[in-house]
Amino acid sequence: MSQDVSKTKTHGQTPKSTVKWYHVEFEADILVDTYAGLLSDQSIILAINSSFVDPLMQFEAQLKIIEISFQKLFSLPNLNRVKSMGKDPKDIEDIENLYKNIFNVYEDTLIILVSKDFYKIQILKEMTTWMNQNEQYLQERAMLIITRVLMFASKRAKKCPSIDAPCLGVMAAELSLLCAHEDPLITQQASSGMNYVLYIAMCQNSNAKKPKSIRLSDGETDNLHVTSSDFELLYKTTQGGRNKIAQSVGQILLPHLLTDFVFTLLKKLSSPDTDTAFEAASLLKLTLDYHAQKITMVSKIVDDIYEQLSMDSSHAMKAVLLNVISLLTRTSPKKVIFQLLEFPVPVDKALLLMWQAVSTESSVAFQVLKTILSVLKGKPGEVEGTLVERRRFSLDATNMMPVAASQALCTFLLVNSYRKVVAKLFPEFLMALMLQLFYCSQLLKDTGQDRPLYVRDGLKALLNCSGLKEVNEALEKKNFWNQFAQDMDHQYGIHFIAKTLSECNFPQFPETLHYVYKIAVKDSRRSEDTIVTIIFFTELLKNFFKESLPKEFFTPFRSWINDSNPSVSKMSLQKIASMAPVFSEIQNVSNLLLPILDAFLSKEHTVIIRAMLTLRNILSKLDKVIYSTVCDKIASSYCPLMDHVNGGVQCMAIRHFGDLLMDMSDYKWMLNHTILGGLVPLILFLESTELRIMKACRYTLTMCFSQLKWSTAYLLQEDNYDFESLVLSICNNLISSYESYIIDLISDTLGFLGSSRAFLKRGSIILVGYLGKSGEYLLLREEIDVMIEDSLSVEVQTGTILIHDLKPYMIVERVTREEDPVIAILAEKTHKLFKEIAYRIASSTVKQTLRRWVKVIRAKKLKPIYNLPNVIAIVEKKTVEDFVEMKDKESLLELTDEKSNVQVQKKESFFAT
């Protein structure tokens, strides 16, 4: 029949033959209507083809018309039934010709479209779908037209191999299924069509392997392009059933076309036609057996399998779907694993089956576990999903792949082949799960959701399959796993696991320590990773190095101490403190102490406090000889902190300075210059309003006086304490013992004059006055002028007013502004003092220099200058009006002079201020 059709194919009919049909009297009017309709449709289709309409819209319009024509055309009766309508041989002949011409018109239309635009070969792909929608369609006729159009397309592809045919993979899948059709005629046409499709694909794929021939003729050339005998050779190689088809498809189709082929067969597994589903399953398995490595859209295929398993748990092709997962895992383990980790947490039944299918591929166990490991090192919630997908329900749109990886690990570790591999990766998996313990507990604490137990289960599985059942049992006895399910502190959990491993002397200690050290010396992307590493690393060192520690192990601590993240710094300092006995025994301990001292410069006060505490822990265990080599550097580091804005830091620095002096009592001579350098803040903060700071200053000054051998400590006692008397005594000791330090002390004191705190401003005015009086023969005239004009100034709300400009009325004005008149009086006295010193200093530079170096005139011991209690008492008794009546500063200063008859009635009132 096919031969008859091919012989009678025409590309246009003569008017004479057309008129003849209308003179035939028979009851087959439907054929005439169909023929007329096809001619009309052909005209419209070709008209659209010649228009300037957008190509996509053009194709969609044409496809819609062609589909309507298809339904009309292939719903016609078969040829034998049409022939029975004729009354005589002449009628039968005319009816048969009309019948054949109807199909020829449809075929011609398709050929014209493909000749104009090869892309429209996709219409044939749609026809294979339409012909299966209704069993009453003339499927043999449809297949015949498809094959003929493909034959025409193959000839064109040979001439123009660069033409685009994106539907070849889908067409190959549809035709390969029809090759197993129960109708031998359809099977024959499908087989021919299949070969034409592969022929076209071979023309487009220059790397495709040609079918092997026994011998090429002399006229044939052995090249990568299609030769005259290629189609015959191809036809022979695909006649061996499914196996040959699967091999040929994989060898000839480009990867993206082969992916379409596989994806189409995958969709057919859900077909209600069991024969089609079975044939698709067989072809799919064979194709992946041979060519799974060429599949490009693995994640899409995995996703589709999950959808099918989720929609129907009793899917008839469940085993086939899971087998596809196994085959894809064999060649693309990373792609499969990453896609599976994208699915819901916790896993459902369908996903669990897919994980189990992956675990059956023992040949890729190492790659699978390495992929799981790489995901476990990630932070849940760190990367937001780019798409709002319905399956991301665990924590909104956050990345929960690490949590899913923990659960998947539990499945894999049940398989022996995977247990053997994970034993080689034990340290990496252990640390990765430690990170997840930290991350998950923290993340879910912030979101208020229940704590998942996948990390716990993963840890238990890792311990059991690594020969560490003893550790698991020890944790069980300590009720650790139950605490894990509750609100357990993540840092405590990491510490507890490391400690238990150490107590059980786990055999993997060497490689674990080596791995942890390796990641410790690397710069971590996340501070949380570093904290986990610090905790685990320290615990291993603490339990296995009781007396000494190799120097390379404290290298990471040096970088951690000064980490930009305060949490990392504090954690490292805390762990160093816990190992103080061990760290104090290492050689070149200064290499560790110096970074701790650098932490004193941190902007975070909690880091500074932790650094000071850690330092004291190490110093308390340190050998005194080694201690003496670093004591000066440490003492100097405390000095800047004695005036820290944070009271806790300041108090601790002052007290630790005193502790250091006590520790170094046998090395007094080494610290005298440092003590003198820190005297100013120690003296001034004796007047602090914070009791803890005042007590710390008294404690440390007691140590200082003992080191300097000054008999001044009795003035620090509560009963004898008087600030001015103490300053006077200190300055007298400086004159007799350390006169050369006075200039530096004056400079340090001037820095406190601008303080907003009244006690500091008042104390610094008194101290600078006594220091100036003590070192008057050491000062140059220029230095005195600077002190008078620039340094000795009092800040008020409206600006800066020099002391020598203060008049009684100015004091009254300051009182109305809640300024302290006591400070003004003390400042005026200091101004007067430096004026008197300036008068006694020669203006000659040579003479001044001689006075400084030769010290011909020695100063006598100082006497009280300010009589501070008297000043306070007068200010308390005088009113604003009393100050207004005083016309000049001299009358005011006379009231506070040492010779005044004013009696101090409440000396304690000074301390109260």
pTM for the whole thing?
0.76
Tokens of 634: 């440490």
- Are 290 and 247 spatial neighbours (Cβ–Cβ below 8 Å)? yes
Say what the pLDDT of residue 177 is: 92
Cα angle: 548, vertex 554, 560; to 5 degrees:
150
Instruction: Give the strand pairing for 799-802 and 793-796.
Output: antiparallel
- C-alpha distances in angstroms, 150 versus 101, 259, 508? 19, 21, 65
Query: What's phi and psi for 11, nearest 5 deg?
Result: -115, 60
- Are 423 and 450 spatial neighbours (Cβ–Cβ below 8 Å)? no
Nearest to 418 by CA among 456, 457, 371, 454: 371
Give the model confidence (pLDDT) of 11-53 as tens digits.
Answer: 444 433 443 444 344 446 788 888 899 999 899 998 888 777 7
Tokens of 681: 């803040």
Q: What is the 8-class DSSP label of residue 800? A: E
Tokens of 562: 């000064």
- Are 749 and 680 spatial neighbours (Cβ–Cβ below 8 Å)? yes
HSE-up (13 A, CA, CB side) for residue 732: 14
Chain centroid offset of residue 277 CA: 45
How far apart, in whole angstroms, are the C-alpha atoms of residue 111 and residue 151? Answer: 10
Give the chain's end-to-end CA distance (angstroms, integer).
122
Say what the pLDDT of residue 878 is: 61
Say what the pLDDT of residue 236 is: 54
- Are 345 and 308 spatial neighbours (Cβ–Cβ below 8 Å)? no
Say what the pLDDT of residue 555 is: 86
How far apart, in whole angstroms, are the C-alpha atoms of residue 300 and residue 298? Answer: 5
How far apart, in whole angstroms, are the C-alpha atoms of residue 237 and residue 251? Answer: 12
Nearest to 137 by CA among 226, 75, 186: 75
Tokens of 583: 């760290």
Give the model confidence (pLDDT) of 497-530 as tens digits.
Answer: 999 998 899 999 999 999 999 999 887 778 888 9
Q: Per-block average pLDDT, block size 10, for the chain (913 residues)?
A: 37 42 52 88 87 83 92 84 73 83 92 90 91 84 93 86 82 91 89 90 73 38 42 54 87 92 92 88 92 92 92 81 94 93 85 93 93 87 45 47 88 90 92 85 55 79 91 90 72 88 91 93 82 92 80 87 92 92 84 92 95 94 90 94 94 96 84 92 94 95 92 88 92 87 89 87 90 75 54 37 34 39 82 76 54 51 79 66 49 52 37 34
AA identity, residue 275: D
Nearest to 546 by CA among 593, 583, 492, 589: 583
How far apart, in whole angstroms, are the C-alpha atoms of residue 692 and residue 529? Answer: 38
AA identity, residue 337: I
Contacts of 359 (CB under 8 A, 6+ apart): 411, 412, 414, 415, 418
How far apart, in whole angstroms, are the C-alpha atoms of residue 472 and residue 151? Answer: 70
- Report the SS3 class of residue 150: helix
Say what the pLDDT of residue 655 is: 97
Query: What's phi and psi for 802, nearest 5 deg?
Result: -70, 150
- 891 forms beta bridges with none
Burial class (CB in 10 A: 0-12, 13-18, 19+), 366: middle
Say what the pLDDT of residue 691 is: 94
- Are 326 and 393 spatial neighbours (Cβ–Cβ below 8 Å)? no
Listed as own residue / partner, the contacts of 546-555 with beta carbons closer than 8 Å and 24 or more positions apart are 546/582, 547/582, 547/585, 548/582, 548/585, 548/586, 549/579, 549/582, 549/583, 549/585, 549/586, 551/586, 551/587, 551/588, 551/591, 552/517, 553/517, 554/583, 554/586, 554/591, 554/592, 555/521
How far apart, in whole angstroms, are the C-alpha atoms of residue 602 and residue 597? Answer: 10
Structural element, H or E, at residue 336: helix 333-340
